[in-house]
Amino acid sequence: MLEFSGGCLCGSLRFKISAKPAYPHYCSCRQCQLWSGAPLVAWVEFPIASLEYIGPGGHPRLFRSSEQTQRGFCPECGSTIFAFDEGSDNVSITLACLDGSPDIVPESQSYATSAPSWFDR
């Protein structure tokens, strides 16, 4: 089984995942832009059951960004960590919060028309 770890900027929120990554992609929808403060977010999905919190900060705080989606962030430093849709078995983790440089490359882009004109699709 593959293992990944990651966390937030301040180190309070730490997690590990023991699962195979799926659906690596970019998203440039307006919600992702406003939530992250960036023109696009790189995501990768894992089974939500494989996500374990191991840091001193415990669990992230949740924000409901739409009727179906919740987004998790560190309550100390505000780092963006994940998003998940109600009823889904998967959680989308931001690639940037994974430790090291995992060999996970986004293969597609959601909401490409909302991406900045300078982004090379």
Kindly tell me if the per-residue pLDDT of 103 is higher than 80: yes
CATH tag for 3-114 (out of 3.40.190.10, 2.60.120.200, 2.170.150.70, 3.30.70.2860)? 2.170.150.70
User: Residue 15 in contact with residue 6, Cβ under 8 Å?
Assistant: yes
pLDDT digits (tens, 9 = 90+) for 88-97: 999 999 999 9
Q: Please, what's the largest Cα pairwise distance for the chain?
A: 41
Cβ count near 67 (within 10 Å): 7
Global pTM value: 0.89
**Which stretch of 14-18, 79-83, 84-88, 117-121 has the lowest confidence by average pLDDT?**
117-121
**Distance, CA of 46 to chain centre:** 10
Kindly tell me if the per-residue pLDDT of 22 is higher than 90: yes
Kindly write down the DSSP assignment for every residue of the chain, as one continuous string.
Answer: --EEEEE-SSSSSEEEEES--EEEEEE--HHHHHHHTSS-EEEEEEEGGGEEE-STT-SPEEEE-SSSEEEEE-TTT--EEEEEETT-SEEEEEGGGBSS--S----EEESGGGS-TTS--
Kindly tell me if the per-residue pLDDT of 121 is higher than 70: no
Kindly tell me if the per-residue pLDDT of 118 is higher than 80: yes
What percent of the chain lies above the pLDDT cut of 70? 99
pLDDT digits (tens, 9 = 90+) for 38-89: 999 999 999 999 999 999 999 999 999 999 999 999 999 999 999 999 999 9
